[in-house]
Every structure is written in structure tokens, then in C-alpha cells.
Structure 1
Amino acid sequence: MFQEERLLKILEYLKQHQSMSVQEICTQFDVSRDTARRDIVRLVQEGVVIRTHGGVSLPELQKELLSYQDRLIDESESKQRIGKAAAQLIQDHETVILDVSTTVQFVAEQISAKDITVVTHSIDNVGILSQREDLQIYVLGGYLNVKNRLLYGPSIIDKLSEIRADKAFIGASAIRADGLYYPYEEDVRVKREMARRSDQVILVADHTKFIGKSFFRLDFEFVDILITDRELPSEIREILDQKNITVIECPEETEEAREQD
């Protein structure tokens, strides 16, 4: 069995049992302790597990993270409005990077620009955009995470480093006064590289992200535009103004406005 296949099976085991010892890796995959330790080092480096005494486990935040499909349904109307506003920023012939994010997926669904190149490691973004013949899709390859609908691993950043994009659209698990937060260390590394390889970075996030919590931080310096669905908390708005980050709000249409339409 190749290491890549073994790593995926270790992650599947962790989803069911939360932790796995070196001895369990040796027994289940018939490998030496040295091989088991190398597997652990690889997974720790990729930020998907934490080392424990005698093995590995999933971080607590990963255990509690809702599935991708659950998050897709949550606040879907708000994400639809945000996605529409974000998609309108994309111009014909541009190269854009689309992050793995339920809100970014709504961006993908509403892109009207033609002859663009889309770079992504999201399974669902690929599925949505592959229905169109007037654009190109470049898929960042790696290991497949079925639950969170993405490809991941060191090759994602390697491929991003070879790309230049006009715009990148990213999401966040939580937004605090000191930056964006994510449950996985690899998330931050990938978002940072997306930002470095793009002329403009657009953060899309609904109001629930401003009361959420997560673990790994990305500084606001990588963001140019924030698109959200409600008025921002005052302390965050002040920080964004100081950093010259443009804020676009997409509030729910009032009953009076709907009647006028």
C-alpha cells in the first residue's frame, strides 16, 4: 500500500474513532513503527491531525466542524446574495481562484463572465462550472476529502505558486478583530498563497462568521474587499477602515422594496 492511500485510511479511521496509536497503525496496515511515525509526521505537517502521546488525534475544532453539506444549507439566502454580488466583480477573460467554501460555491453558481479561467480545489466548484463550455477550469490536485468536498495536501500550494490570477475569492470559518480564522493550519497556508498569487482578494462571509470561533489565524492584510450580508460589528468595521479594506453589504431586501418592485 502506498503512503498516500494509507494516510487517507488513517484519516477515515480518525473520523470514526477520534484518535489512533502508533501500534494501531502498525497493526492495521502491517507496517513498521518507523513507517507509522513517518505517516504521523506527514499528517501533522499537513495540519490535519495533532500529535498525542503514542499516536495522533483530530483537533477538537475538527471534531465539532459541521459537514460541508450542513454548512451549505446554513444561511443559504444570505450566501446567495453575497455570491451574486461577488460574481459581478468577475470580468470576461480573467483568471480567478475560487476557494473551498460554501459561500464561494454560491459565487461559482452565479458567474456570468465568459472566457475566464477558474482555479480551484473544490469538488463542487468543478461540478458546477463543468456544465459550461465558455470557460476553463484548472483543478489543484491532491488527496480527496469527501466529507469537506475538497482536494488537499502539499501539491495544492506547489501548484498555486506557479499561477497568477486577477482575483481570488476566499471564505473564512470565523472573523475577529485581529483577522480571519480557520480550523486547519493548511487552510491558512492555502489562503495565504492564494492571496499572494492574486492581484485582488475578495473575502465572502455572512454575519454568522463574526460570532464564530476557530483556531488558525490569517491577517487582514491579505484581503482587499469584504462582501457580507449585514452591517459589521463596529470594532471590525473600524479595523477594516484602517486597513483600507472595501466593504460591500448585501442586506436582505425589505418588504417595502419588494412591494415597489
Structure 2
Amino acid sequence: MFIIYQEQRLLKILEYLKEHQTMSVMDICTHLGVSRDTARRDIVKLVQEGVVNRTHGGVASPQLQKELASYQERLIDESDSKLNIGLVAAKLIHDHETVILDVSTTVQAMAEQISAKNITAITQSIDIVRILSDRDDLQVYVLGGYLHVKNRLLYGPSVIEKLREMRADKVFIGATAIQSDGLYYPFEEDAHIKKEMARRSDQVIAVADFTKFKNKSVYRLDFDYIDILITDQEVPSEIEEILDQKNITVICSEMNNKLEEENKDDL
């Protein structure tokens, strides 16, 4: 069965609004073949992004078409690389494993593509909880704390305290920036949580698109915590050398997916 992921559904809703100006919950269900609950979640996401107006029973196209176009471009730019990375990462999860899923748009893209069954997922990401709550073949443990509405996560000392009581097979973490001495994040607590997640897992997998190698941020997570890095393009040579010295496996999703397609064609 072909599955339409949320980012694809949002684009289809926006395309429909460009032509029809309004779209009801029932229209979304019929047009995209989804449940009313899924349609409502998509509406909430678009309203939060500020690209549609909420109406009684559905959504309406915003007055500023430029804002709509900008949102569509951003989704297209981000979704392809993140979905490709997420697909490769999701295949590393096996049935019955316990995994920790970090707050990250790339980890979120991975969560949408998990095919393993009977896993236990631990996270403080509101969006990942929402994604996984649609499945009845896995368990979700939410790391409780204070709600950060803008960043869509739960935070506070209780998150780290609870992590210290756990053990996982794998953790998947994102990054704001990747430099020659490690992964970087904008908030000190964020780096502390990543470090504790890494300590509590047998294998640490970082997922980050190529733009992260051009970014800079403040708080560091040393490469010594990382086992695998999945990205969408070749890593800059100066960083690749360091990763090789630290025995970090680098997987390029673009090359990996091409090889899989070629292998399928050969069968």
C-alpha cells in the first residue's frame, strides 16, 4: 500500500487551496484518502505554520500568496533530503528493539518511515509522539517535562533524570551544526540531553543533511559519542578524515538509495 507522508499531504492541501481557495475536513479525507483525525492534524500543522486560515469545518487560503509559495518551497527543499536520510535510518531499526528518538526534523522524517514492529520508542518530541501514536504495533514512552510550544518538545531536569533510568539499543539524534570537533546545538540543555541519550544507548546514530556542515552553533557534543553518521551528500574532506580516525561509519543516503535501486533492477 502506498503511504502519503504528512509533508506530502500538506503540499497537496496547499495545491488544492491555490485552485479552490477553501477546503473542508471532508474534502481532505476524500482527496487524500485519510481519516478525519489525520485531516485535523494536518490542518493544525498548517495553521501553526501560519500558511492557512482556520475556518469552521476546514481551512481557507491565506491572503498572502507569497507566504504560501515560500512555505511550499521550504517543504520541498527540506523534505527530499530529510526523507532520504530518514529512510536509510529507519532501516537500521529492527523488530523488538528499544530506540530513543531525538527532537529533530530529520529524526521526525525517519519516524514516519519506521517499518520495524514491536519496538519501544522513547522521545520528548511532540511531533514524533503524534506520528507514532497512529500505530498499534509499538510502544511509545514520552519523556515528561515542561512543554516548549515553539520547539515542539518537553524539557527540564526530569527528562535527563528519566533517561538515566533507561537503556536503549539505539538512539537517533539530529544536529544544528557539524564542525571538525563535533556536533553543535544552540542550547546548553539540548547538548546535555543528547549526551545523556548517547550514554544510555548501545549505538548512537546521528542524522543530518549537508547544510549542517555549513552551520555554526554554540554547545558541542564530541564525536566520541557517535557511531554512525547518516547524511545526504559527501562529507567535507577535512571532517571525513576526522570521522575515519574516530571509526565513525558514514552513510550517504543518496548513494545508498541509488545502490538499492540498482540492485533491484538487477534482480
2:140 to 116, 137, 151: 137
| 2:251 counterpart residue number | 248
> Does 1:198 find its partner at 2:201?
yes
CA distance in 1, matches of 2:74, 2:158: 26
Counterpart residue type for residue 108 of structure 1: A
CA contact under 8 A between 1:72 and 1:102: conserved in structure 2? no
| 2:149 counterpart residue number | 146
| 1:107 counterpart residue number | 110
Deviations 1:65-110 (A, max 9, x none): xxxxx98765210000000000000000000000000000011000
Tell me the number of residue pairs that the alignment of Structure 1 and Structure 2 aligns.
192
1:250, distance to aligned residue in structure 2 (A): 1.3
| 2:235 counterpart residue number | 232
CA distance in 2, matches of 1:192, 1:157: 10
| 1:79 counterpart residue number | 82
CA distance in 1, matches of 2:157, 2:238: 36
CA contact under 8 A between 1:182 and 1:216: conserved in structure 2? yes
1:251, distance to aligned residue in structure 2 (A): 1.8
Gaps of 5+ in 2: 1-72
Runs of 4+ residues over 3 Å off in structure 1: 70-74, 252-255
Counterpart residue type for residue 85 of structure 1: V
Counterpart residue type for residue 92 of structure 1: D
Counterpart residue type for residue 155 of structure 2: Y
Give the 3 Å change call, closer, same or farther, for CA 177–139 of structure 1 in structure 2.
same
Counterpart residue type for residue 134 of structure 2: Q
The alignment yields a C-alpha RMSD, in angstroms, of: 2.4
CA distance in 1, matches of 2:243, 2:112: 28
Give the 3 Å change call, closer, same or farther, for CA 226–89 of structure 1 in structure 2.
same
Superposition pairs of residues 1-261 of structure 1, within 5 angstroms: 74-251=77-254
Give the 3 Å change call, closer, same or farther, for CA 115–179 of structure 1 in structure 2.
same
Counterpart residue type for residue 238 of structure 2: E
Gaps of 5+ in 1: 1-69
Counterpart residue type for residue 134 of structure 1: D
